[in-house]
């Protein structure tokens, strides 16, 4: 088994999830509670990666971070490196690609928090930010966990975007799914079977955990 690729995928998925929690949770809050009329546009943009072919997304990201683009130029000036075909570039693409997998469950969980509890907190003189931290997040915890797990799993298995943005550099951008593709291409079916089985097992475990969380098989709050 290509442990190097597995380890790279795990690192990529973990970093993506952490960034998505920092970016996606505030975005989900805005989507759940904003009354702006153009909110639907933001929702549509966030959901785009669900329907867009990964190659299309990857293509645009590649253009956007290339050395001649403003983003790429700025990055080069700041770090001296380049985004395409690097781990950082891959990370950026993964965050965009998995955005809906964080935002949608979290936004749904926020929307599911009884509005009256939020208003009760406000009327008790507690600020919006503190209310978010003390009431909304604890009550939406299962949804936030679901979003994190789904984003992790989704990044673990991404292929098209990685190929477009990262290429196939061992230890830098060769993730598990690309490794499997390589193995099949070189007719090494034994290794491909092993790695695939490993990915299948992980995906199943993650999804089972997600559904268990949603059904609250495990009590989130201690019973009394």
Partner 1 sequence: MAGELNCACRTRLDSGFSLDAQLRIPFDQSPVTVLFGPSGSGKTTLLRMLAGLDRPAEGIITFRGERWFDASSSLCLPPQKRRAGFLFQDYALFPHLNVAYNIAYAARPGKGREYLKAFGLADLAGRLPRSISGGQQQRVALARALAAEPALLLLDEPLSALDAATRLRTRHQLRDMLLTAGVPSIIITHDRMEAVALGDWMAVMVGGRILQAGPVQEVFRHPVNGQVAECVGVENVLPARIAARENGLLTLEIGAARLQSIDSGEAGPVVACIRAEDVAISRDLSATSSARNRLAGHVRSVILEGPLARVELDCGIPLVAVVTAQSVAEMRLQAGDAVSAIVKTTSVHVAPWSENDSAAK
Using the rule CB under 8 A, is 126 a contact of partner 1?
yes
Using the rule CB under 8 A, is 111 a contact of partner 1?
no
Using the rule CB under 8 A, is 135 a contact of partner 1?
yes
Q: Which DSSP string do the residues of 20-84 spell out, in sequence order?
A: HHHHHHHHHHHHHH---TTHHHHHHHHHHHHHS-HHHHHHHHHHHHSTTSHHHHHHHHHHSS-ST
Q: How far is the CB of 91 from partner 1 (least distance, A)?
A: 34
Using the rule CB under 8 A, is 11 a contact of partner 1?
no
Using the rule CB under 8 A, is 216 a contact of partner 1?
no
Using the rule CB under 8 A, is 34 a contact of partner 1?
no
- Those residues whose C-beta lies under 8 Å from the C-beta of residue 208, and which sit 6 or more positions away, are none
Distance separating alpha carbons of residues 152 and 125, to the nearest angstrom: 37
Distance separating alpha carbons of residues 102 and 223, to the nearest angstrom: 28
Using the rule CB under 8 A, is 129 a contact of partner 1?
no
- Those residues whose C-beta lies under 8 Å from the C-beta of residue 219, and which sit 6 or more positions away, are none
Tell me, by CB under 8 A, how many residues bind partner 1. 18
Candidate ranges 81-89, 133-141, 143-151, 210-218; the one touching partner 1 (CB under 8 A)? 133-141
- Applying CB under 8 A, the residues found at the interface with partner 1 are 114, 116-117, 119-127, 134-135, 138-139, 221, 224
């Amino acid at each position: 088994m290509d442990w190097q690729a597995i380890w790279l995928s795990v690192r990529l998925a973990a970093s993506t999830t952490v960034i998505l929690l920092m970016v996606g949770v505030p975005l989900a809050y805005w989507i759940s509670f904003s009354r702006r009329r153009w909110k639907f546009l933001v929702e549509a943009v966030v959901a785009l990666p669900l329907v867009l072919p990964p190659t299309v997304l990857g293509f645009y990201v590649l253009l956007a971070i290339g050395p001649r683009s403003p983003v790429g130029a700025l990055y080069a000036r700041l770090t001296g490196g380049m985004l395409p075909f690097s781990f950082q570039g891959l990370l950026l693409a993964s965050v965009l690609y998995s955005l809906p997998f964080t935002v949608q469950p979290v936004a749904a969980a926020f929307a599911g928090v009884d509005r009256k509890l939020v208003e009760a907190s406000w009327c008790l003189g507690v600020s919006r930010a503190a209310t978010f931290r003390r009431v909304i997040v604890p009550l939406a915890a299962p949804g936030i966990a679901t979003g994190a797990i789904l984003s992790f799993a989704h990044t673990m298995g991404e292929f098209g975007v990685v190929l477009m943005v990262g290429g196939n550099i061992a230890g830098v951008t060769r993730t598990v799914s690309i490794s499997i593709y390589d193995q099949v291409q070189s007719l090494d079916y034994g290794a491909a079977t092993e790695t695939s089985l490993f990915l299948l097992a992980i995906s199943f475990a993650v999804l089972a955990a997600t559904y268990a969380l949603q059904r609250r098989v495990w009590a989130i709050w201690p019973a009394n």
